[in-house]
Amino acid sequence: ETTVRIAYENNPGEPADLVMNRWKELVAEASDGEVVLELYPSSQLGGKKDVIEQGMLGVNVITIADVGFLTDYDPDLGILFGPYLTDDAESLFKIYESDWFKEKEAKLQEQGIHIVIKNYLYGTRQLLATKKVETPDDLKGMKIRTPNNIMQIRAIEAMGGTPTPMPLGDVYPALTQGVIDGVENPLPVLFGQKLHEQAKELSMISYLQNTSLWLGGQAYFDTLDPEVVEMLHETGYEAGLYSQELAAAEDEKILEAMQDAGVTVSYPDVEPFREKAMAVYDQFPEWSEGLYEEIRSQLGQ
Amino acid sequence: MKLSFKLVSALAGLLVFALIAITAASVVARYVLGTPIQWTEEMSAFLLIWIVFLGAIACEIEDHHLKIDVVTMALPDGLVRWLGAIVGAASVGLLGYMAWLGYVLSESAALKKTQILRISWFWIDIAVTVGAIGIALVMAWRVWLLLTGKPVDAPETEDMSREH
Amino acid sequence: MEWFIIIPFMFLLFALNMRIYLAMFAAILGYFVFFQQIPIQIAVQRLIAPTQNPSLLAIPFFILLGTLLGTTGIASRLLKVADLLVGKLTGGLGHTNVMLSTLMGGLSASNLADAAMMCRMLVPDMIKAGYNKGTAAAITATSALITPILPPGIALIIYGLVADVSIGSMFVAGIIPGLVCSGLLIGAVYLVAKKEGYKPSRQTWPTARETGSTLVEAWPAFLLILVIIGGIRLAVFTPTEAGAIATVVTILIGLFVYREMKMRDLTDAFGSTARQTAAVLLVIMMSSALAWIFSLEQAGVALAEWIMSLTQNPWLFLIIVNVILLVLGMFIEGNALLIILVPLLKPVVLQLGIDPVHFGIVMILNLALGTLTPPVGTVMLLVCNLTDTSFAEFMRRGWPFLLALLVALILVTFIPALSLALV
Ligand code: NA
Ligand code: NA
């Protein structure tokens, strides 16, 4: 019997937790109970960086990471977290199947990172604020909390807001006190963190299709039976599909719940936001020459 | 010892000063100037770990690390001395191992950089090694005093319980 | 559960007078060497992790603030004011200590920060006024427990998130239990002061003239309080940042208004802050690494199943949970325990018809009590360290106050209305 640990920062009941529970079932089924996934929600084994480090040191653990998180290993990967890169998540997933990404994946494996799921949709990032935001002008002077991630900081800045990085755990009190005016994240996270209790204006600017990777250390995967690794990949793909389904369903459910809680939802014209956001694609000199154009052509756009 | 105490303590104190200054500056930048400083969080975390491990060396010199002396207080002096030497030597060993592990971890994390300031995690993790070596040296000195029968009282430092 | 042997091993090392953080580190290493095939450097990674959490910054900030309040002369003016208000009562300074924590509890989210500040501001004067050092330390440590229960509190937020109840409700639910703790402590202070013969610090109620001149002389102190409260309420800064801002204001007052502080005092204060921060944080870091082991071993699952197998009676269930948490809270970091145990216990809590908000307050109060008990109760360690009190002395003098809090825990456990009336 093989036990594989899965660690993530999300709390029980959030979409990531639901998807992992589904994956657990899929794995149990596919392996006749021979392989067991053990789930560790709520950062029980540590934050993202620490768990990835544990995996790279050879610990049995799989965790979730934004592509933005892998830019230390390959700066080019950062572009996959770019604002308004594609219209929908579906076309973004095509890039993950492209030759360009396969090359990157092989390079990461040499550096000790083994990607298990690459069709995982974390959600579409929206803006929840204390004031209505319908145009980039409305964003002027508003302090928007972002994760400590250079791409999101620059994207919010480009669209006119004042990015204010702080840990997710501090956002609730910061909103309560008005230290920040808004926060961006997929709806399930905004709702899961109960931020709608403090900020009542939801702007569906959909500025970022947030895909995520589930990965572990190559050193650990090398110790596994190749058949088990393949089974994990196959069931992982199924779980990824479920995450995409769930994201859509959850968004709808949460929109309703938020409105019931007194949140006003607005659907601004995203074109002006997109135009401003494009500025970020010139701000990363560390990217390969012509990266943006290559990605666009991979997308056939 | 007194000099090294002053040096390490002053250095750690300087970092505390920097921590206060950065935090205050970030409030001013955010509230008065409307442009938050984005690297405050990273810099504070970086400073805090160095404050802890440098502070820990100074704290060891003045023998102020927390311990539970309820049991040993009931023992005869001679025995306490020997026990102190043995536990001290074991502690030096533990700290040496901690220093080594910290170094191995720093090496393996060197590639990873913080998001904004692009500080390599090596410079964060290595604080453990520096701190552990420093504490181990102080402790080894204390064990030597115990074994050679010299008085082991902590050197006179600007005592924290000083009245004002 | 063989790995659990590391806990008695750790206690043995405590008894041999090894530094607490090193004894804990030895236990953690023992786990990695004998019970898990995991690269040992991860033990060090788990130590570093808590220092990367910004809420811990409150500790150096408020330790420094407390020291500076003393050296600048602000504390002594504030004390005169407190003396005006309650000095005529038996155990006046003790009451002041509890009242200040209650007032601060509504601003600050950290009991460590509160304890550090009170140790600096009040304990020296309490000793001067004839209080036993252990008593003064115990009053300071136990009243600091009010801070995490009164909103805002970090534990209230964490519980709201992992148990999926409104953080707003948790905040409101904490108010009465926090005041109950405060009231019971004031009662305990009164009884102890009566028995020990701590005289009122003044014989008569103050005259109007005396009141006037004391208040006028204390204006910079009021300014400081106004800056802190106003700054947080007007959203200029967060409670953690408030520590840094208050420090800056205090230095300015010390240098330009009262002019009692010398440059030497200032540099000394920075150095001693670093040393005390180190002493306390090293233990917190080790305790959070132990929590990681607890989590990796899925000990929470086993524990939750065991608790559920014991009883189906809600009251009995709450008592058992209380006893187990009191024990675990003695050596594992409280917030980590919330994260591990709450999701596992919540289904049972609902099934037994216990309100999750009420359960949360019981858990948080309980874990806060864990910070006051040996061997690694962090607040107790901090206070003993800052006041130079031995643990034995702390326990010998502190039991009436700990007992008062235990009574508060029992009341909050068995009278759900205390938590739920305002929700
Ligand atoms: Na509080
Ligand atoms: Na107090």
Closest CA to C94 of C44, C135, C47, C55: C135
Determine the Cα–Cα distance for residues A165 and A68; give it in Å rounded to an integer.
Answer: 15
Q: At what angle do helices A48-56 and B77-109 cross, to 10 degrees?
A: 90
How far apart are the two ends of chain C, measured CA to CA in Å? 40
What pLDDT does C303 receive? 81
User: Phi-psi category of C5—alpha, beta or left, where left has phi over 0 and alpha has psi -120 to 50?
Assistant: alpha
**A202: which strand partners?**
A128, A265
- Are A42 and C152 in contact (CB < 8 Å)? no
pLDDT tens digits, C283-325? 878 888 888 888 888 887 888 888 878 888 889 999 999 998 8
- Residue B31 covered by a domain: yes
Predicted complex ipTM? 0.85
Distances (CA, A) of A231 to A117, A238, A244, C50, C383: 12, 11, 20, 36, 55
Residue B160 has pLDDT above 50, yes or no: no
Residue C26 has pLDDT above 60, yes or no: yes
Candidates B13, B27, B45; nearest CB to C241: B27
Determine the Cα–Cα distance for residues C11 and B71; give it in Å rounded to an integer.
Answer: 11
What pLDDT does A175 receive? 87
**Helix, strand, coil % (nearest 5) of chain A?**
50, 20, 30
Confidence of residue B88 (pLDDT cuts 50, 70, 90): very high
What pLDDT does A230 receive? 97
Candidates C39, C55, C157; nearest CB to A57: C39
Q: Could you give the angle at the alpha carbon of A276 between the alpha carbons of A88 and A289, nearest 5°?
A: 75
Residue C252 Cα to ligand 2 middle (Å): 25
Closest approach of A54 to chain C, Cα-based (Å): 7
Q: What is the mean pLDDT of residues A202-220?
A: 95
| H-state helical runs in chain B | 2-31, 40-61, 77-109, 122-147
Confidence of residue A90 (pLDDT cuts 50, 70, 90): confident
What pLDDT does A247 receive? 92
Residue A33 has pLDDT above 70, yes or no: yes
What pLDDT does C234 receive? 72
- Residue B161 covered by a domain: no
What pLDDT does C107 receive? 60
Neighboring chain B residues of A56 at a CB cutoff of 8 Å:
108
Domain of residue B141, residue span: 2-152
Q: Could you give the angle at the alpha carbon of C324 between the alpha carbons of C322 and C325, nearest 5°?
A: 65
- Residue B100 covered by a domain: yes
Ligand with minimal distance to C117 CA: 2
Candidates B44, B54, B55; nearest CB to C54: B44
Buried b / exposed e across C144-169, counting CB within 10 Å, b at 16+? bbbbbbbbbbbbbbbbbbbbbbebbb
Residue C103 Cα to ligand 1 middle (Å): 9
Neighboring chain C residues of B97 at a CB cutoff of 8 Å:
29
What pLDDT does A138 receive? 96
Determine the Cα–Cα distance for residues B3 and C94; give it in Å rounded to an integer.
Answer: 40
Amino acid at C309: S
What pLDDT does C147 receive? 82
- Residue B109 covered by a domain: yes
Determine the Cα–Cα distance for residues C144 and C156; give it in Å rounded to an integer.
Answer: 16
- Residue B159 covered by a domain: no
Neighboring chain C residues of B128 at a CB cutoff of 8 Å:
44, 47-48
**A217: which strand partners?**
A113
Identify which has the larger pLDDT, C386 or A242: A242
Confidence of residue B156 (pLDDT cuts 50, 70, 90): low
- Residue B158 covered by a domain: no
* B45 interfacial to chain A (CB closer than 8 Å): no
Place of tokens 């669209």: A159
What pLDDT does C270 receive? 95
| Structural domains of chain B, count | 1
Neighboring chain A residues of B34 at a CB cutoff of 8 Å:
141, 162
Determine the Cα–Cα distance for residues C207 and A11; give it in Å rounded to an integer.
Answer: 58
Return the residue of C nearest to B6 by Cα. Answer: C271
Residue C88 has pLDDT above 80, yes or no: no
Candidates B30, B108, B115; nearest CB to A150: B115
- Residue B126 covered by a domain: yes
pLDDT tens digits, C376-391? 788 888 898 888 888 8
Could you tell me the sign of the dihedral formed by the alpha carbons of B44, B47, B52, B58, in that order? negative
- Residue B18 covered by a domain: yes
Q: Which of C36, C37, C38 to mutate to test the interface with A (most CBs of A within 10 A)?
A: C38
Copy the structure tokens of residue B74. Answer: 């009931």
Confidence of residue C106 (pLDDT cuts 50, 70, 90): low
Ligand with minimal distance to C147 CA: 1
> What are the E-state strand segments in A130-255?
143-146, 162-165, 182-186, 201-217
Cα within 13 Å of Cα(A30), Cβ side: 22
